[in-house]
């Protein structure tokens, strides 16, 4: 487990800005604005144009951010064949690597590979994927990421099917004594964050709800206050 992640492990609610919509021409300024807004972890959406139809960024942006901040980097891999890229994302400075169960031929071995690399691991599932698809890794991950939109694009509407999944996963965690954090991603805003919190989510990824606002601090505070 990366020492940086200890800051947010076990915390709730944690707001993680998805940097898809940030100003990539001025990453240093964006990071300092986020830090000033009280943000303490970043969510990086890596898309390959294959597992998902959209293409975003890869290792160089992770590495660039690593050089800019000590905030934990939560890297959400929306890529086919993640096992081939794990080491490069570890070397780039990721603190947590989350892979999609739909993208893994053998999720158990991919999670083992991440864990053995010395950073934290997460498993993600799309809205149409049933919870039992991730059963085999629940004892070994640090994070379970429930997608509340189909992975691939920012700015989509929240799919309420995620709420039932969050409830079921929270109950499963309780019943089995698992210690992973429960993260939700997609369409999180002032209308949806509270329901997710009440359904058991700990970490909330927000793209549009932060980057489309004038003031990141007010946007972040609003989301937190709606939970608590």
Which residues are CB-contacts of 48 (< 8 A; sequence separation ≥ 6)? 55, 78, 79, 80
Distance CA 205, CA 193 (A): 10
Q: What ranges in 10-70 are assigned the alpha helix state H? A: 27-36, 59-68
186 binds ligand DX5 (CB under 6 A): yes
Residue nearest to ligand DX5 (CB): 207
In the region spanning residues 104 to 143, those forming contacts with ligand DX5, defined by CB under 6 A, are none
- The smaller minimum CB distance to ligand DX5, of residues 76 and 165, is found at 76
154 binds ligand DX5 (CB under 6 A): yes
Distance CA 152, CA 93 (A): 23
- Helix 27-36 vs helix 59-68: angle between axes, to the nearest 10 degrees? 50
**R_g over Cα of the chain:** 16
Active-site position among 45, 74, 95, 142: 45
DSSP 101: G
Footprint of Zn ion (CB under 5 A): 45, 76, 185
Task: Kindly state the greatest CA–CA separation across the chain.
Answer: 46
Q: How far is the CB of 149 from ligand DX5 (least distance, A)?
A: 6
Distance CA 122, CA 144 (A): 6
- The smaller minimum CB distance to Zn ion, of residues 142 and 185, is found at 185
- The smaller minimum CB distance to ligand DX5, of residues 48 and 142, is found at 48
Distance CA 125, CA 137 (A): 12
156 binds ligand DX5 (CB under 6 A): yes
**145 three-class SS:** strand
Q: How far is the CB of 153 from ligand DX5 (least distance, A)?
A: 6
Q: How far is the CB of 76 from ligand DX5 (least distance, A)?
A: 5
Q: Looking at 77, 187, 193, 202, which residue binds ligand DX5 (CB under 6 A)? A: 187
Q: Looking at 8, 166, 193, 205, which residue binds ligand DX5 (CB under 6 A)? A: 205
Q: φ and ψ at 108, to 5 degrees?
A: -60, -45
Is residue 45 annotated as part of the catalytic site, yes or no? yes
Is residue 185 annotated as part of the catalytic site, yes or no? yes
Selected range binding ligand DX5 among 81-89, 129-137, 183-191, 216-224, rule: CB under 6 A:
183-191
Distance CA 119, CA 9 (A): 13
Q: How far is the CB of 52 from ligand DX5 (least distance, A)?
A: 7
Q: Which residues are tagged catalytic? A: 45, 185
Binding site for ligand DX5 (CB under 6 A): 18, 20, 43, 45, 76, 149, 151-156, 185-188, 205-209
């Amino acid at each position: 487990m990366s020492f940086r992640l200890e800051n947010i492990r076990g915390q709730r609610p944690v707001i993680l800005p998805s940097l898809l919509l940030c100003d990539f021409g001025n990453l240093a300024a964006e990071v300092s604005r986020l830090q000033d807004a009280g943000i303490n972890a970043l969510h990086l959406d890596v898309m390959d144009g294959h597992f998902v139809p959209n293409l975003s960024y890869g290792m160089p942006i992770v590495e660039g951010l690593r050089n800019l901040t000590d905030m934990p980097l939560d890297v959400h891999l929306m890529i086919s064949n993640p096992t081939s890229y794990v080491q490069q994302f570890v070397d780039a400075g990721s603190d947590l690597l989350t892979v999609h169960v739909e993208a893994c031929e053998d999720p158990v071995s991919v999670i083992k590979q991440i864990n053995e690399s010395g950073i934290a691991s997460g498993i993600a599932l799309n809205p149409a994927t049933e919870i039992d698809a991730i059963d085999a890794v629940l004892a070994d991950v640090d994070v379970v990421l429930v997608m509340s939109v189909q992975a691939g694009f920012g700015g989509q509407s929240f799919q309420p099917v995620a709420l039932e999944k969050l409830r079921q996963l929270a109950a499963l965690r309780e019943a089995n004594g698992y210690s992973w954090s429960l993260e939700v991603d997609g369409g999180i805003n002032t209308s949806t964050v509270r329901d997710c919190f009440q359904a058991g989510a700990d970490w909330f990824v927000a793209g549009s709800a932060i980057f489309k606002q004038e003031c990141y601090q007010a946007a972040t505070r609003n989301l937190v206050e709606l939970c608590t």
